[in-house]
Structure 1
Amino acid sequence: MTVKPVLLWSDWLIFLLVLTLILFFINLGKNPVARKRWRSVFASRVGMASFLVIVFYVLIALLDSMHFRYPLDKLEGSDEQHYSQEVNSLLDVVLEDLRGHDEKTYSSPFAIHSFSKENRTLENGQVVRDYPRLEYAGSHLRKHETVGSDVFERSMNALVVGLGIALVLALLIQLLRRLTGKQASAWLPWKTVYLTLGGLILVTVWILQVGGYYHILGTNKVGQDVLFQAIKAVRTGVLIGTLATLITLPIAVILGIAAGYFKGLIDDVVQYIYTTLSSIPGILLIAASVLLIDVYIETHAEQFRLSAERADFQFLALCFILGMTSWTGLCRLLRAETLKVSQLDYVQAARAFGVSHSRIIGKHILPNVTHIVLIALVLDFSGFVLAEAVLSYIGVGVDPSMASWGNMINEARAELSREPVVWWSVSAAFVMMFVLVLAANLFADRVRDAFDPRTVN
């Protein structure tokens, strides 16, 4: 079966970002000072573990960014091949068992019966109100089997398979270390590496093994698997945090350093711009911009052949809007730090000797504010992930057809007021978002310790 590849703009961007990060770490070898500082980041157990968790999220986002369309059956008498309007990804293929087992409506985690009662007609014609059996979850169970024993047995099988995969991976790493020389990587916390990778592998294998037979985190209102929706939302969280941050940084760095270094009229203009922008309520500004984008999409519907292209355009527009409205805080910090650094003796001496402004900024100013930029890079990433959840909650976030933690929380508003409470949708979104944001913040702490000039020996 031949599929048709689909490349969205966000797919190109995430591929470019991953390639840029790979080239960045490859080029670290050319800068001994930067290499030493980054080595201290990865030599930390917390830094290494959080980095691996972030990489795991990025790998999920990469799998979900490889899109394609399935071919449709050819019409009789026609050789032209048509393709489905639905856009799928490699992640959909990997999680096919979770994706394809939709029920009628809510079901709780590991349940085999529906969450709500329905009228059911017995063989003798009597109508009773009972919890109907789910169509997929637990359908393999025999009469004498219970959910608990079956889940335990499959969990043990997943544990054995996961440990086997983790052991093979550890042996391959050890072999690679011997070939390259153990001393070259002896500074890495290898126990932490093996434990973190082993934990991630075990969780992945367990989800794939058990998720095909039960809804691990239950189903939502329309019967979709909640765990599948939470995993699909990883791409949205990773991309919106990364793209919005990369839009914010150049604006903040250029304007902040320019204002603090040149002072005078440039400083006044920059301060006027960010003071004016800060005086506008952020939520209202973002909401108004998103609504303008919605109007553009509605009036230019012919530009979007697929619903995925429409959702992707709205998503990228939201990233741009978040980035353009969130640079003022970092700009203030950089301006203040540049004002301080520009008064240091060696900077004043460079000016007295006639060194060009661009060289002073590149050699003296920028290296002394890099630690602020790096810390802001990771903290802004966390902030934008949380901002998407808030914006989707109030209805001005990503397209409703796009999986995101914000959309999951938004849909769970009515569920939390039910009796009994449907808690698993909001809990799944919270846990997935919490792990990513926590890993990013812990990694930012290690980066701060490594690049802060006051703590570097």
Structure 2
Amino acid sequence: MTLLWTDVLILLLLIASIGIAFYLHDKEHIQRPLNKIAHSKVGMVSLVVLMFFLLVGLMDSIHFKSNQDNSNEIISLLDYCATPLREHTEKTYSAPFATTLYSKEMIAKDGSMQWGYPRLVYGGKHLADPEKEQIADILLKAGFGFLLGLALFAGLILLSTGVSYLKHGSVPQFFAMYSVVVTLFIIVVFSTMLGYLSLYYHVLGTDKVGEDVFYQAIKSIRTGLVIGTLTTLIMLPLAILFGILAGFFRGWVDDVIQYLYTTLNSIPGVLLIAASVLMVQVYMANHEAEFTSVIVRADMRLLFLCMILGLTSWTGLCRLLRAETLKLREMEYVLAAQALGVKQHAILLRHILPNVMHIVLISVVLDFSSLVLAEAVLSYINIGVDPTTYSWGNMINGARLEMAREPIVWWSLSAAFVFMFALVLAANLFADVVQDAFDPRRIGNEAVE
């Protein structure tokens, strides 16, 4: 097994999340908003979609060296599972479910050279007469993939039900939500159907170098999740520490912190990120011995991009926490703790920090989608992730010239848009539910009622 830097950070973040979940599972003030989220149809449906993306991202974060052909190439578990997609490379563009290239070429036919569409090497190669057999074959394989997905869905339901009965003696609570079951059914069945069809066709076509666009789209999920999560992990400590200190101590501490984030906000973000990325590129160019693998170079640039975005995006949350802390420090229980001689660090940890965590949680969920979109924008202007890294931003950047072709090559841009739209929409919907559940004004009104 080979661990990249981003793999290590993702593993640490996963362990920390599990630990926090175990610590908070019996806290009543946390259970109330969580129960409200659990009873929200929109919240649970969006959570199921996010968990699906997270599962794909985790599969793509387990790396090991492939001994195939003695190449020692570093691949992920997702790469191994999607080996046909990774290896079935065509010559150039081909449309979704096509059996020929997208452009005409001179081909040998009936003993002479003719102008026509060459057959693909892998897409539909099992068909003897594509014009007559293609539609029926696609429908047949889609039906078989549907049955496989149905069997897989039934197995998941039986397994989760059995585990729930052994532990609690009842059916899992989320099964009571019809919308959650339907969403899970659609994801499992549709993913299985596409996966089975991709063994025989390029379901989303191929790009300029003949690489499968469906493979690129699912590989880009990890990049979006890494940008959204690791950047937040870097940004949170700075925002929480400086925001609470500025609001609680005020005076010169507040002045210094305000000067710091005001100065940072005055620097154009794109220019700061561009300068930092160029510095990283110069460093890697001068130390080539430390970055012998393409995937290691790309991973290091991705890590530095997360660090840069984290160091430039903490100011907004810091301002919110400063304002909330200014209000909390004047509350009666804080003044009483100060009058009783409670030490300042104890007041910060016991009274201030727990009462600002709803703002932190809401901001984290809201910032996730904006960071995913930021990666796409930065990659579009060539200051984002490494060009060899699979990302929706790189797909969009590569597709901008394809849109000017005649006939137009639309599937790369469409695939990136659909996958990014699904992830960002699910994150935004879940953020709205979390915001409603953890809003202290709503919680207070419900308690009064």
Establish whether TM, by shorter chain, passes 0.5.
Answer: yes
Q: How does 1:274-289 map to 2 (within 5 A)?
A: 274-289=261-276
The residue matched to 2:217 in structure 1 has which SS?
helix
CA displacement 1:33-68 (0-9 Å, x = unmatched)? 212322221221221121121111111111111212
Which of 7, 10, 13 is the aligned partner of 2:9? 13
The residue matched to 1:214 in structure 2 has which SS?
coil
Q: What is the one-letter code of the residue matched to 1:43?
A: H
Q: What is the one-letter code of the residue matched to 1:135?
A: V
Q: What is the one-letter code of the residue matched to 1:294?
A: Q
* Structure-2 residue corresponding to 1:54: 50
Cα separation, 2, equivalents of 1:46 and 1:241:
21
Cα separation, 1, equivalents of 2:107 and 2:173:
65
* Structure-2 residue corresponding to 1:77: none
* Structure-2 residue corresponding to 1:207: 194
- How far off its partner does 1:72 sit? 6.2
- How far off its partner does 1:242 sit? 0.4
The residue matched to 2:442 in structure 1 has which SS?
coil
Among the aligned pairs, what percent are the same residue? 51
Cα separation, 2, equivalents of 1:187 and 1:223:
42
Q: What is the one-letter code of the residue matched to 2:128?
A: R
* Structure-1 residue corresponding to 2:207: 220
CA displacement 1:123-171 (0-9 Å, x = unmatched)? 343x322111111111111337432211111111111111121112212
Cα separation, 2, equivalents of 1:399 and 1:69:
21
Are 2:254 and 1:267 aligned?
Answer: yes
Q: What is the one-letter code of the residue matched to 2:260?
A: I
Are 2:361 and 1:374 aligned?
Answer: yes
Cα separation, 1, equivalents of 2:180 and 2:111:
62
Q: What is the one-letter code of the residue matched to 2:26?
A: K
CA displacement 1:261-312 (0-9 Å, x = unmatched)? 1111011001100110101100000000010010000011111121211111
Cα separation, 2, equivalents of 1:217 and 1:16:
34
Cα separation, 1, equivalents of 2:169 and 2:132:
50
* Structure-1 residue corresponding to 2:121: 135
CA displacement 1:198-234 (0-9 Å, x = unmatched)? 2221122112210111111110000000000010111
The residue matched to 1:378 in structure 2 has which SS?
helix
Are 2:321 and 1:334 aligned?
Answer: yes
Provide closer, same or farther for how the CA distance between residues 198 and 388 of structure 1 changes in structure 2, counting only shifts above 3 A: same
Cα separation, 1, equivalents of 2:437 and 2:10:
27
Provide closer, same or farther for how the CA distance between residues 150 and 185 of structure 1 changes in structure 2, counting only shifts above 3 A: closer
Are 2:28 and 1:32 aligned?
Answer: yes
Q: How does 1:167-316 map to 2 (within 5 A)?
A: 167-181=154-168, 186=173, 189-316=176-303
What's the Cα RMSD here?
A: 1.7
* Structure-1 residue corresponding to 2:307: 320
Q: What is the one-letter code of the residue matched to 2:427?
A: A
TM-score of the aligned structures, taking structure 2 as reference length? 0.94
How many pairs align?
Answer: 443
Cα separation, 2, equivalents of 1:442 and 1:356:
41
Deviates more, 1:224-233 or 1:139-148: 139-148
Cα separation, 1, equivalents of 2:23 and 2:33:
14
Question: Retained in 1: the 8 A contact 2:213–2:412?
Answer: yes
Question: Retained in 2: the 8 A contact 1:45–1:189?
Answer: no
Structure (1/2) with the larger helix percentage: 2
Are 2:97 and 1:110 aligned?
Answer: yes
Cα separation, 2, equivalents of 1:169 and 1:72:
32
Q: What is the one-letter code of the residue matched to 1:303?
A: E
The residue matched to 1:339 in structure 2 has which SS?
helix
- How far off its partner does 1:179 sit? 2.3
Question: Retained in 1: the 8 A contact 2:50–2:427?
Answer: yes
Cα separation, 1, equivalents of 2:254 and 2:408:
54
Deviates more, 1:285-294 or 1:336-345: 336-345
The residue matched to 1:11 in structure 2 has which SS?
helix
Are 2:432 and 1:450 aligned?
Answer: no
Question: Retained in 2: the 8 A contact 1:370–1:451?
Answer: no
Cα separation, 1, equivalents of 2:87 and 2:170:
48
The residue matched to 2:98 in structure 1 has which SS?
coil
TM-score of the aligned structures, taking structure 1 as reference length? 0.93
Question: Retained in 2: the 8 A contact 1:48–1:189?
Answer: no
Are 2:59 and 1:63 aligned?
Answer: yes
Question: Retained in 1: the 8 A contact 2:247–2:321?
Answer: yes
Deviates more, 1:223-232 or 1:419-428: 419-428
Are 2:393 and 1:419 aligned?
Answer: no
Q: How does 1:88-127 map to 2 (within 5 A)?
A: 88-125=75-112, 127=113
The residue matched to 2:441 in structure 1 has which SS?
coil
Which of 410, 417, 427 is the aligned partner of 1:440? 427
The residue matched to 1:88 in structure 2 has which SS?
strand
Deviates more, 1:256-265 or 1:17-26: 17-26
Question: Retained in 1: the 8 A contact 2:175–2:181?
Answer: no
The residue matched to 1:308 in structure 2 has which SS?
helix
Deviates more, 1:151-160 or 1:273-282: 151-160
Deviates more, 1:211-220 or 1:49-58: 49-58
Cα separation, 2, equivalents of 1:230 and 1:112:
21
Cα separation, 1, equivalents of 2:74 and 2:174:
44
CA displacement 1:164-187 (0-9 Å, x = unmatched)? 211122122222232233569547
Cα separation, 2, equivalents of 1:139 and 1:14:
40
Are 2:87 and 1:87 aligned?
Answer: no
Q: What is the one-letter code of the residue matched to 1:450?
A: A
Question: Retained in 2: the 8 A contact 1:278–1:328?
Answer: yes
Provide closer, same or farther for how the CA distance between residues 192 and 179 of structure 1 changes in structure 2, counting only shifts above 3 A: farther
Deviates more, 1:389-398 or 1:199-208: 199-208
